């Protein structure tokens, strides 16, 4: 077995984006693909490591790019500045997500009938919006995601993708009222949904370098392990 990884350029209109992909070359047939949507800093080593881990599970993993090739924030202020235009106009998120979905379905290693998406923090919102738009994906997983819907979102009456939300109970960026609103939204959209809530857990609980209690971002090893196990079970189910 050898895990092959590389980058690939793709376009959203005239914006050049760069995805990172990984797969196990011991698998000869086309395999399910998992899109990975990054947090507010951009497509960095964190999501690349997740892609490698997913490739070891037998998936074609594609860490997508929302901001553009080589664009990475270096501070909370820069990250917020990169993310805000997409929060202000969620149609931009959907355009980038659809570009990534189109790009991954064209790749020769991918079973284009079996695609799912996972996302972290801001990326969790991105994959939820993909589901909200009725995109042709089997399922989406949001890890400590931002949860709020947007009035201008391309919301579908029916959400076709199965939805798994992995949430820290004490996350200041997604308070209880947003969780309840999401539950109602998903139910009204006819979605097959699950929300797993981890006690004594805040935002960014999967990120080993998160250690800012005042900001509300702290790594939690137990929640990290439990959420990854839940994701693995979920992907097995949606790709059956």
Give the pLDDT confidence of 82-108 residue by residue, as tens digits: 999 999 999 999 999 999 999 999 999
Provide the 3-class DSSP secondary structure of residue 207: coil
The mean pLDDT of the chain is: 96
**Token pair of 105, please?**
């379905």
> Strands 211-212 and 217-218, how do they pair?
antiparallel
Tell me if 167 sits within 8 A of 179, measured CB to CB.
Answer: yes
50-81 pLDDT, tens digit per residue, is: 999 999 999 999 999 999 999 999 999 999 99
Provide the 3-class DSSP secondary structure of residue 165: strand
pLDDT higher than 50, residue 161:
yes
Tell me if 164 sits within 8 A of 133, measured CB to CB.
Answer: no
In angstroms, rounded to a whole number, what is the distance separating the alpha carbons of residues 4 and 211?
Answer: 32
* Bridge partners for 140 per DSSP: 117, 163
Tell me if 30 sits within 8 A of 59, measured CB to CB.
Answer: no
pLDDT at 152: 44
The reported pTM is 0.97
* Percent of the chain scoring above 70 in pLDDT: 97
Boundaries of domain holding 30: 3-238
193-222 pLDDT, tens digit per residue, is: 999 999 999 999 999 999 999 999 999 999
**Token pair of 64, please?**
């997508």
Total structural domains within the chain: 1
Query: What CATH number is given to the structural domain containing 123?
Result: 3.40.50.1820
- Residue 178: half-sphere exposure toward Cβ, Cα within 13 Å: 19
């Amino acid at each position: 077995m050898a895990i092959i990884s590389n980058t690939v350029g793709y376009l959203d209109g005239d914006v050049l984006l760069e995805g990172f992909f990984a797969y196990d070359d011991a698998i000869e047939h086309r395999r399910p693909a998992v899109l990975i949507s990054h947090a507010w800093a951009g497509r960095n080593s964190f999501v690349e490591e997740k892609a490698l881990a997913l490739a070891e599970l037998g998936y074609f993993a594609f860490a997508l790019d929302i901001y553009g090739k080589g664009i990475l924030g270096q501070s909370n202020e820069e990250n917020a500045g990169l993310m805000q235009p997409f929060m202000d106009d969620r149609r931009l998120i959907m355009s980038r997500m659809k570009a990534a979905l189109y790009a991954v379905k064209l790749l020769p290693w991918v079973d284009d009938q079996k695609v799912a998406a996972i996302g972290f923090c801001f990326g969790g919102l991105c994959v939820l919006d993909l589901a909200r738009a009725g995109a042709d994906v089997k399922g989406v997983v949001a890890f400590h995601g931002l949860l709020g819907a947007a009035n201008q979102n391309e919301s579908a009456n029916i959400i076709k993708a199965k939805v798994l939300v992995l949430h820290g109970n004490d996350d200041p960026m997604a308070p209880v009222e947003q969780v309840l609103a999401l539950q109602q939204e998903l139910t009204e959209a006819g979605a097959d949904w699950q929300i797993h809530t981890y006690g004594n857990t805040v935002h960014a609980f999967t990120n080993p370098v998160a250690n800012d209690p005042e900001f509300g971002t702290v790594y939690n090893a137990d929640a990290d392990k439990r959420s990854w196990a839940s994701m693995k079970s979920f992907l097995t189910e949606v790709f059956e």
